[in-house]
Chain A
Amino acid sequence: MADRLLYWKGCMSRLKVKGIADSTMELLDLMGIRYDTLGGDEGCCGSILLRTGYPEEAKKLVRLNISQIGDAGYTKMVTSCPGCYRTFASEYPKMIAADLPFNVQHISQLLSENLGALRNKLKPLKMDVVYHDPCHLGRHMGIYEEPRRLIKAIPGIRLAEFRQNRSLALCCGSGGGVRSALPDVSTAVAKSIIDGPLGPLGVRAIITACPFCYYNFNTAGGVEVIDLPQLLLRSCKGERSNG
């Protein structure tokens, strides 16, 4: 039986930064990857509940989500949000003390696996960028190379690195419920990266692979922020960067 793929948008891409979900779907379509979404029936992964002190409330969602996705016959699931990815892939199995009935990937993993189908569609993009490792994707799940591999696949792009990257990457400041409880602190942390280690790199844009990082860096301002699928789509469309 063929794999059935679910694209789990996650609350941020579904409701706050819809451009990330739209670009992701457009990119998947362009690559000929078939997927479904849950539309209005998509729920909450529970990550934010786990971070803000409501593990019991999160547990209620876990069973619900697993049966909703599993019963619908999906064998694979891909997320835009590293928070959803970590929660599904690493925390759900611990919470139910069993493997999930479906495989979970972050979008950067799925795209990287399908780089063959993507590569010939990528058109040159003359841009100097830096990749920001999202905490949930990098330090928490060990996914450091897939996003870099995808960025480097774009002809003409130059990928710079923060002095402290991968396992030592700085947090953008929006994780763990800080953005909701202390928005000024979140923004100040993002701003300290933009005003600090970003400056000497002389890049035009920060590439993220996380809607929370995307949102938070944008709030801090002063630099173009592009989510990974957005960047790849831009390259596919041969759009010149707006600058």
Chain B
Amino acid sequence: MDEWLNKKDLEFREWMLDERRRLGIDRAVKAYVSAKETALQKMPELEEMRKEVRLIKEESIRKMPELAKAAMDAIIDLKGMAYLAKDAESAQEIFKEVVGRGKLVVKSKSLTSEEICLNEALEEAGNTVYETDLGEFIIQLRKEKPSHIINPSVHVPREEVAKTFSQLLKREVRPDINGLVSVAREFLREKFCTADVGITGANVVAAKTGTIFIIENEGNARFVSNAPPIHIAITGMEKVVPTLSDAFKVVQVLPPYATGVLMAAYVSLITGPSKTADIEKTIVYGAHGPKELHLVLLDNGRTEMAKSPDFREALYCLRCGGCMYECPVYRILGGSFGNNYFGGIGIIWSYFTRGPEGVAAAINACTKCRRCKAVCPLEIDVPKMVETLKSRLVRDGYSHPRHREIMESIAKNKNPFGLER
């Protein structure tokens, strides 16, 4: 069997047989579905707003290069730094240049940073990196990869987290969820204050003002973006919208669909580095917040997606992750159903940001049932894109042997089962 198929088959099997991971996902799905249902009932106005956001994203992707440039210009005007990285490698180079060597780095959750394998690159350059989002912290300690874009450790039940923390602290930690959260809080607090660099993602960026929006519930992104002297934010260039009011609409739609809350606990709006002019009206950068602010906008296949009428719609994705919890196959295959990005939309994203090899086998797990489209706040037609991508992959030599047999049987016998006519 082809290597790319074989590898994924093993990965699928491993997930399907892992009762603990399934338990973690089952619990998360139940909690998510009921929380979202309640949130959407309480906020009927979201019905209108999500349609507005769809229009905002359509416009933003039409103008993606111009908006990226506008956001960068605005940040540079504010004495921040801004970069457009054409691929993962050049993004890594920017980070290595800004961070340097032997530094202590704290990070809040960013799938875009996973996309460019940032932690590996920074560690190779001799830096120490701490993930501070609880889920990311857990899987970093476990040397695993995220399995969901919002809840990266969704597959790790409390008993396993306790084992991981027991190893970290070299003492017995009980599988009590409150206690586990306290362990992370105590351990990471000191890291925030001593870190040289803080790295965050950005959920949306307002081009005109150069404002970076970071949405979170834990409060770690606030520490990461505020305590260290240098803050670097990385996000895909598709996240830039024209204005602050556009960005606020995105901010309202995202949390209920992402985690079933009416509003996230914290939304940080960052417009330039920290500054003061309190002494003789002389501007000094780095008052209480970071002296340096850097924004890295990542292309890495996004321009190609924006140009493609077949796949442009994938760039509208707000990354709420709701479709994953709602996907009947994700519930079975979890983090193996994709490659860094998960579920049907993840297949499209992985293809453009990481190439065909990693998704050519995973795509065969999508039933094209369209449930993801039905639950998507922007009604993104993922199954249609998956179908189009599938034919592109087949054309490029990644056909599944069973599907090839079926195709041949239909041509020969007029039925898919290899039965003689």
Asked if A53 and B403 make an inter-chain contact with CB atoms under 8 angstroms apart, the answer reads: yes
User: How many residues on the B side are at the interface (Cβ–Cβ under 8 A)?
Assistant: 43
Shortest Cβ distance from B397 into chain A, in angstroms?
Answer: 11
Asked if B367 and A53 make an inter-chain contact with CB atoms under 8 angstroms apart, the answer reads: no
Asked if B411 and A57 make an inter-chain contact with CB atoms under 8 angstroms apart, the answer reads: yes
Most chain A CB inside 10 Å of its own CB: which residue of B16, B366, B367, B393: B367
User: In the assembled complex, which residues on chain A have CB atoms less than 8 Å from the CB atom of B402?
Assistant: 180-181
Asked if A176 and B366 make an inter-chain contact with CB atoms under 8 angstroms apart, the answer reads: yes
Asked if B367 and A175 make an inter-chain contact with CB atoms under 8 angstroms apart, the answer reads: yes
User: In the assembled complex, which residues on chain B have CB atoms less than 8 Å from the CB atom of A15?
Assistant: 415, 417, 419
Asked if A48 and B416 make an inter-chain contact with CB atoms under 8 angstroms apart, the answer reads: yes
Shortest Cβ distance from A81 into chain B, in angstroms?
Answer: 12
Q: Does A152 belong to the interface (CB within 8 Å)? A: no
User: In the assembled complex, which residues on chain A have CB atoms less than 8 Å from the CB atom of B371?
Assistant: 135, 139, 168-171
Q: Does B76 belong to the interface (CB within 8 Å)? A: no
Q: How many A-B residue pairs have CB under 8 A?
A: 131
Q: Does A31 belong to the interface (CB within 8 Å)? A: no
Q: Does A240 belong to the interface (CB within 8 Å)? A: no
Given A178-B364, A180-B402, A189 contacting B328 (CB threshold 8 A): yes
Given A52-B403, A178-B364, A173 contacting B328 (CB threshold 8 A): yes
User: In the assembled complex, which residues on chain B have CB atoms less than 8 Å from the CB atom of A16?
Assistant: 417
Given A54-B391, A189-B332, A180 contacting B403 (CB threshold 8 A): yes
Asked if B400 and A52 make an inter-chain contact with CB atoms under 8 angstroms apart, the answer reads: yes
Asked if A40 and B421 make an inter-chain contact with CB atoms under 8 angstroms apart, the answer reads: yes
A50 to B366, CA, bound (A): 13
Q: Could you say which interface size class chain A belongs to?
A: 35 or more
Asked if A44 and B414 make an inter-chain contact with CB atoms under 8 angstroms apart, the answer reads: yes
Q: Does A185 belong to the interface (CB within 8 Å)? A: yes
Asked if B370 and A53 make an inter-chain contact with CB atoms under 8 angstroms apart, the answer reads: no
Shortest Cβ distance from A143 into chain B, in angstroms?
Answer: 14
Given A51-B387, A182-B12, A189-B332, A139 contacting B369 (CB threshold 8 A): yes
A57 to B393, CA, bound (A): 15
Given A49-B410, A181-B364, A188 contacting B415 (CB threshold 8 A): no
Given A54-B391, A180-B403, A184-B16, A44 contacting B332 (CB threshold 8 A): no
Partner of A50, one of B12, B373, B387, B393: B387
Partner of A175, one of B16, B368, B400, B421: B368
Asked if B403 and A178 make an inter-chain contact with CB atoms under 8 angstroms apart, the answer reads: no
Asked if A171 and B421 make an inter-chain contact with CB atoms under 8 angstroms apart, the answer reads: no
**A residues neighboring B (CB under 8 Å):** 11, 14-16, 40, 42-44, 46, 48-55, 57, 61, 135, 139-140, 164, 167-171, 173-178, 180-182, 184-186, 188-189, 192-193
Additional A-B contacts beyond A44-B416, A171-B328 (12; CB < 8 A): A44-B414, A49-B410, A54-B391, A61-B410, A135-B367, A139-B373, A167-B374, A173-B332, A176-B368, A178-B364, A181-B402, A182-B12
